[in-house]
Structure 1
Amino acid sequence: MENELMSLPMVALRGLAVLPEQVTHFDVSREKSVQAITQAMKKDQKIFLVMQKEVEVEEPKESDLYRIGCIATVKQIVKLPGNMKRVLVSGEQRAGLSWIESEEPYFQAAVKILPDFCKPEDRELLENPINEEGMVRGLRELFRDYMSKNPKLAKELAMMIEEIKSLRVMVDTIAANLPMDYEDTQKVLEEQDILQRYEDISLRVVNEMRVLSVKEELQKKVKERVDKNQREYILREEMKLIREELGEDTLQTDAEEFEQAVKDLDASCEVKEKLAKEIKRFKSQMASPAESGVVRTYIETMLEMPWNKKCEENLDIKAAKEKLDEEHYGLEKVKDRILEFLAVRILTSKGQTPILCLAGPPGTGKTSIARSLAEALGRPYVRISLGGVRDEAEIRGHRKTYVGAMPGRIATALRNAKVKNPLMLLDEIDKVSNDYKGDTFSALLEVLDSEQNDKFRDHYLEVPIDLSEVLFVTTANTLQTIPRPLLDRMEVIEINSYTENEKIHIAQRHLIPKQLKSHGLSEEQLSISKKALQKIATVYTREAGVRQLERKIGGICRKSAREILEDNKKCIKVTERNLEHYLGKEIYQFQKANEQDEVGIVRGLAWTSVGGDTLQIEVNVMPGEGEILLTGQLGDVMKESARAGISYIRSVSKEHGIDEKFFKEHDIHIHIPEGAVPKDGPSAGITMATAIFSAATGRKVRADVAMTGEITLRGRVLPIGGLKEKLLAAKNAGIRMILIPKENERDIEEMSSEITKGLKIVSVSHMDEVLDYALSKEQEG
């Protein structure tokens, strides 16, 4: 029966698809449709209903129709005015349109009943009646919950659903009673896979329940808000009548105060015109408290902005230098640049305001030097933390049309500073990110561009703000995440790691007095020796800055305060010997240089976010098939450096007496200890190449030599960064000779003798020079 062709009258429906188990009605006016229904009533009342692809087509052809429709039984025909008839039908079976047998006087179609099917892997599931019963019950309960949220559905439907036992009938009945547009209904009609149809309908029921829940919640909130607004309106009207009876009108008084404030405001004509317009709006909206509240907030914000209000600067360059030297030890480049700016400012009385970017590791004093700079210049200091800012509106402000609109952080900081020329610190500019709400970096471009920030436009204020006299200082831990156009607008001043000597000076001059004061101690009650500070800086902390050092000093102060109170001690002296009593066991240890020369082991130098460190690279060669093993959590850059080093060694193997078959018959294993710590960076190329060469030739590498530099396939040594931190790490490890790239010689010239003292620094430009120094048998004196 299912594969047999049937010849039935056909009606082409516009914007309507009929499903099996669906009882619905539709109106027909086309003559062919009326004739088809009349013919169906003369026979067995069966008719084939199929939907048109385009609703506008008046005389559809076979190509204008979908190929799958529904065989239905005509239940009732009602005549309507204008030769129109309303037809009630009951959908019964899916059927496919094979071809149209005739088009006059009505459509007669050859159709084939489409049975439900399931995939072979699902057949066993449906053949088990328990599984079918479980799916029917689950769908029934789901639809029961839906009906409880949708009172429009008839009660008879609930009774019908309870009696259905067949999964196919249940799915089609529920589908026929869900709100779907005709395209979605057609998709359900065309789906013959019963399990897929079951999943689709279940998902639709769940989605409809969510929609109804959201709708119900919104309606409840709207009702509550309307009730509240009506109550407030009545109360305000009563209050207004009382004020009128008493002869008072506060809102009118506020408007007059605003007008007087605008007269006294030192601002441009554009700002005053904007304020006058908003005050006029404020007067006209007094009857609407919500609107007048928004306008009032805007007017108050505009009046609080320092349009032309400036503070007097301290132009005493000597006093500024003394202030900076007093509060900060070292940081000579930063101080010099600040004093240069101040000198130009004194000579020109204006000068272009620079935008400084202090870049360096955490804890090196970037934020505190900005505060000191503000004090030295006599400018108000405002700080904006940009870490995690994702929304462009945080910078430019929200438009007034939004509920809860407010100015951006830049305008708010100016309002808090109360002058137009403060020092504004944009902290952690490297941690700004973007999302779908806009590009935050692009908003900062306008702020930090001295050519256009004299007319910065905040979306909330809607008038230009002059930022040209603001001294912007930004801070960043790394420059890698800052887009190039934004970085180009800033003058980068790098703040490197502190040396051990600098840390001790900072601790003696700043950290110890600060911690003594915050813990209620005096210098007579607690003293910390220089050697103790040196030990804290080397074995209790590992950082580029001094934050951990300050915490350790604070820990000593806390323990000392307790001893003074409990044991009645009058004076506590912390020395190198008793330091362990206050801070516990040593935390860090620097890897010391190896005591003897070894084959395949080379000491490299690395830069980390907390300063420099040494890396011991080990290479083993063993019989194999030419495989290269890389272990120790190496990043992509270091893996590429290792492969480049191997390629170079293979290219010069003949010159150094390495057998041609060596690399085919041996496996090379490169390992960097501390495997739990990820390692990456372009500075270990020559180190790995030297270790590979040593392992391949059996020649020992000097234990007192460390090196840093990247390698090319032709053996050239490329420059690296972070040299200062790397030299400090080598010095702490007891290394005597350092091999650095030739192009990094200029960095050595800028370093203090404190860093280079005791080190023999050799610059190399080619791998041959590296091997000569690293594999030399004579120990340097």
Structure 2
Amino acid sequence: MGTEATTEVIDLTQERVPLLPLRDVVVFPHTVMPLFVGRKSSVSAITQAMGTNKYIFLVAQKDEKTENPGNDDLHQVGTLATILQMLKLPDGTIKVLVEGVKRAKINQFFEAEDYTEVSVSEFNLESNESIEVKAMMRLALDSFETYIKLNKKIPEEVLKVLQDISDVERFSDVIIANLNLKLNEKQSLLEGDHAKDRLDKVLAVIQGEIDVLSAEKKIQSRVRKQMESNQKDYYLNEQMKSIQKELGQAEEENEIEDLQVSINKAKMPKAVKAKAESELKKLSRMSSQSSDASIIRTYIENLCDVPWKKKTIINKDLKKAQKILDGDHYGLNKVKERILEHLAVQTRVTHNKANILCLVGPPGVGKTSLGESIAKAVNRKYVRMALGGVRDEAEIRGHRRTYIGAMPGSIVQKMQKVKVKNPLFLLDEIEKMASDYRGDPSSAMLEVLDPEQNHTFNDHYLEVDYDLSQVMFVATANSLDLPQPLLDRMEIIELSGYTEDEKVQIAKRHLVAKAMSNNGVKSSEIDFKDSAILDIIRYYTREAGVRSLSRTISTICRKVVKEVVLKKRKSRAIINAKSLSKYLGVKKFRYGLAEEHNQVGEVTGLAWTSVGGDLLTIEATAYKGKGKLNYTGQLGDVMKESIQAAMSVVRTRAKELDIADDFQEKLDIHIHVPDGSTPKDGPSAGAAMCTALVSVLTGRKVKADVAMTGEITLRGEITPIGGLKEKMLAALRGGIKTVIIPDDNERELSEVPDKIKGELNVIKVKWIDEVLDIALEK
């Protein structure tokens, strides 16, 4: 409900006026303003005013947060106003429309029933109608006109009203009421009593507002232009997209954006990023249907897939690494020690280059699995590259982009797959790389495996340098049949074959459990005894490693599973030496003495092969003839020359050995090395050849439990050979009791396990005479 008010003139000196405290507003004379009243005392004051002469005194609180202000919380100067209209709202508050009449000052407060009344006195502006004041009014009017033009919120009617006002107080009141001022500034102007001071303040405020509004206008203009430009670009881009969509090129635009995001994510070095962005620029100017576009797209994707920054944190805990290595492999102490040395250096030096190892040994000794174990121990990701049969250099370095279907080389592809720049990279079977008209891959490996060069490895496809210096390379090989420059770049660690005891331990710790797991056998269904494992090693396998042993154990597990499934077996299968033949059949190898009886012209030599050491039987026989020397058994040139050297030694010592001087004229001699289908070569059988010749020419028998190795010179000197540990392992495995080795091989004896040396009688010799004394019966 609304109420229109009619006002009558009152005498301020005679009447009291209801007081209405204002929180956050100052009302000036000659201005109309709506107010919302909610406080109980304020509502009572409004009601009282409406019931009398419609006059109310409006005064601002000193602190707007005060909920129920006392007399001291109010300013002394306020505005006498009349209530033009009152409207009661549903929530109990009142909306009133008031018009300021004149300024007044509180003289005294009077407490009424629910509200406060005050007696007030007029508070007029001191003014002399000087020329200066008139000039200031005119300047204020011009400035306010400029202000209105900038501030669209003030209606132009205000300016027309001001132009008709000559009274300085009313003039300044109207201007101040329309300025954007803080509450305390408005109150200060309301309390001012000098016209000149008041106009000074008004002019300063208007000029400040004009400056702020001008700056706002400039900013808005600049922003509008920018927005218009952006909207134009957006509109044109949207048009372009719809055109491209019609032409089927819309996906290409998204693809360019995706590739740019991939380039930024890859964290490439500056030079590489520049190359990638240059190629992306080319791609953006091409049609997606172009053949070159797919080549460039693939190239950029390959660049982004290469790990440029990401790497794993290397494990520096030596005890943890030792535990992992020991848990995965039995023995191999030399390799384990080298890995721990490498880790120890990593704790001191963050970027250690010298970390290219080459594990050389016969098949089945655990080279490849050791690589995986090393990766686990040092906490590097494991990646394996098989080099067997690689003939093309481009397999290592990649093809140039000009070729159709060109791709990066295997090194970069594996790095992309593993996604870190510091993995353990296993180069398997490195000696089995071959070369042909397409290039020599082993020569390409020189750059990869050189710590001084591989930080700038250049793949033909990528065309940018890639850093391989943080990769830990481990190569494996069965022999050292490698180019010398490649060997020179690697640290060679030789892994010889396992002894019987080591094989038994490996079978008990690893192979039996693995075979049972792979074949689904429960521990309650089978029990392997040590005697069975030892007999498998002796009579059913003959190898340097343990692969055949593992297969044989798996065979037994399969047979037991079959018995259980067919319900032929209800009890636990006990696998011991007696029950082996039931599962594996007859013994495949003869274990014990190489030959059971001493014989003339039959010598046991020791040979080294790629699968470890082996016993080599050498037979000689003499018959009537004309001095011809025959040799058979697929012998290589070096071995043939070794036989001729041995014959020369025998002929020069014929007298001392009680051999007829003219034996070479009356006898033909035939030397044969059995297992004729297997090629044999090397000089280390020289001493054995000479012993066989002397035995057949003198009729003295050769001791069957003696084996020998050593190269022979024309003077009868026994010179050193290689592969001593493997040869002694073979001797022990073959039941030999005495081994004759060259005196100069004594230094290699330290690498031979004490258990082998303890079971063999090792005799070191310098001359062939000593060999004959030991090996031949008297």
> Which category of TM-score, normalised to the shorter sequence, fits these structures?
0.5 to 0.7
Instruction: Spell out, residue by residue over 1:398-422, the C-alpha distance to the aligned partner (whole angstroms, 9 max, x if none).
Output: 1111100000000011111111110
Instruction: Spell out, residue by residue over 1:251-300, the C-alpha distance to the aligned partner (whole angstroms, 9 max, x if none).
Output: 11111122233233322100110110111111111343422221111111
Counterparts of residues 175-574 of structure 1 (less than 5 Å): 244-245=245-246, 249-480=250-481, 482-567=482-567, 568-574=569-575
Distance 1:746 1:776 in 2: 30
Instruction: Spell out, residue by residue over 1:663-702, the C-alpha distance to the aligned partner (whole angstroms, 9 max, x if none).
Output: 1111112122333333222211000101111222222322
Amino acid at match of 1:506: I
Q: Secondary structure at the match of 1:350?
A: coil
Q: Secondary structure at the match of 1:263?
A: helix
1:635 equivalent to 2:630? Answer no
Distance 1:242 1:574 in 2: 80
How far off its partner does 1:327 sit?
0.4
Counterparts of residues 121-140 of structure 1 (less than 5 Å): none
Q: Secondary structure at the match of 2:468?
A: coil
Distance 2:525 2:312 in 1: 43
Q: Secondary structure at the match of 1:329?
A: coil
Paired residue for 2:577? 576
How far off its partner does 1:429 sit?
0.7
Amino acid at match of 1:493: I
Amino acid at match of 2:348: L
CA 691–245 in structure 1, closer or farther in 2 if over 3 Å, else same: closer
CA 259–596 in structure 1, closer or farther in 2 if over 3 Å, else same: closer
How far off its partner does 1:585 sit?
2.0
How far off its partner does 1:246 sit?
10
Q: Is the 8 A contact 2:649 2:716 kept in 1?
A: yes
How far off its partner does 1:522 sit?
2.0
Instruction: Spell out, residue by residue over 1:490-532, the C-alpha distance to the aligned partner (whole angstroms, 9 max, x if none).
Output: 0110111111111111111111111111112222221211111
Counterparts of residues 28-43 of structure 1 (less than 5 Å): none
Paired residue for 1:676? 677
Q: Is the 8 A contact 2:700 2:777 kept in 1?
A: no
Amino acid at match of 1:614: L
Amino acid at match of 1:708: T
Distance 2:266 2:461 in 1: 19
Q: Secondary structure at the match of 1:735?
A: coil
Distance 2:674 2:592 in 1: 11
Distance 1:443 1:514 in 2: 39
Q: Is the 8 A contact 1:542 1:611 kept in 2?
A: no
How far off its partner does 1:478 sit?
1.1
Q: Is the 8 A contact 1:542 1:610 kept in 2?
A: no
Paired residue for 2:139? none
Q: Is the 8 A contact 2:707 2:740 kept in 1?
A: yes
Distance 1:349 1:636 in 2: 51
How far off its partner does 1:248 sit?
8.1
How far off its partner does 1:557 sit?
1.2
Q: Is the 8 A contact 2:380 2:424 kept in 1?
A: yes
Counterparts of residues 12-23 of structure 1 (less than 5 Å): none
Amino acid at match of 1:716: E
How far off its partner does 1:766 sit?
1.1
CA 676–433 in structure 1, closer or farther in 2 if over 3 Å, else same: closer
Q: Is the 8 A contact 1:306 1:419 kept in 2?
A: yes
Instruction: Spell out, residue by residue over 1:646-676, the C-alpha distance to the aligned partner (whole angstroms, 9 max, x if none).
Output: 0011011123332221211111121223333
Q: Is the 8 A contact 1:355 1:490 kept in 2?
A: yes
CA 308–724 in structure 1, closer or farther in 2 if over 3 Å, else same: same
How far off its partner does 1:733 sit?
2.7
Paired residue for 1:201? none
Q: Is the 8 A contact 2:429 2:478 kept in 1?
A: yes
Instruction: Give % identity.
Output: 51
Distance 1:571 1:597 in 2: 46
Paired residue for 1:602? 603
Paired residue for 2:658? 657
Q: Is the 8 A contact 2:593 2:705 kept in 1?
A: no
Q: Secondary structure at the match of 1:757?
A: helix
How far off its partner does 1:241 sit?
7.5
Distance 2:593 2:604 in 1: 10
Q: Is the 8 A contact 2:603 2:707 kept in 1?
A: yes
Q: Larger deviation: 255-264 or 459-468? A: 255-264
Q: Secondary structure at the match of 1:522?
A: coil
How far off its partner does 1:337 sit?
0.5
Q: Is the 8 A contact 1:353 1:470 kept in 2?
A: no
Paired residue for 2:612? 611
Instruction: Spell out, residue by residue over 1:427-483, the C-alpha distance to the aligned partner (whole angstroms, 9 max, x if none).
Output: 111011111111211110000010011000001111000000000000111112x10
CA 299–696 in structure 1, closer or farther in 2 if over 3 Å, else same: same
Distance 2:408 2:349 in 1: 34
Amino acid at match of 1:671: H
Q: Secondary structure at the match of 2:315?
A: coil
Paired residue for 2:203? none
Distance 2:728 2:760 in 1: 8
Q: Is the 8 A contact 2:499 2:729 kept in 1?
A: yes
Amino acid at match of 1:734: G
Paired residue for 1:205? none
Q: Is the 8 A contact 1:735 1:759 kept in 2?
A: yes
CA 291–330 in structure 1, closer or farther in 2 if over 3 Å, else same: same
Distance 2:304 2:674 in 1: 63
CA 248–294 in structure 1, closer or farther in 2 if over 3 Å, else same: closer
Alignment RMSD = 1.9
CA 587–521 in structure 1, closer or farther in 2 if over 3 Å, else same: same
Instruction: Spell out, residue by residue over 1:372-396, the C-alpha distance to the aligned partner (whole angstroms, 9 max, x if none).
Output: 0001111110011111111111100
How far off its partner does 1:634 sit?
2.2
Counterparts of residues 5-16 of structure 1 (less than 5 Å): none
Amino acid at match of 2:540: Y
TM-score, normalising length: structure 1: 0.67
How far off its partner does 1:485 sit?
0.5
How far off its partner does 1:370 sit?
0.4
CA 285–547 in structure 1, closer or farther in 2 if over 3 Å, else same: same
Q: Secondary structure at the match of 2:759?
A: coil
Q: Is the 8 A contact 1:627 1:666 kept in 2?
A: yes
How far off its partner does 1:242 sit?
7.6
How far off its partner does 1:596 sit?
4.0
CA 655–417 in structure 1, closer or farther in 2 if over 3 Å, else same: same
How far off its partner does 1:339 sit?
0.5
Q: Is the 8 A contact 2:593 2:704 kept in 1?
A: no
Structure 1 gap segments, 5+ residues each: 1-238
Q: Is the 8 A contact 1:353 1:468 kept in 2?
A: no
How far off its partner does 1:616 sit?
2.4
Q: Is the 8 A contact 2:252 2:288 kept in 1?
A: no
Distance 1:521 1:600 in 2: 51
Q: Secondary structure at the match of 2:614?
A: strand
Structure 2 gap segments, 5+ residues each: 1-239
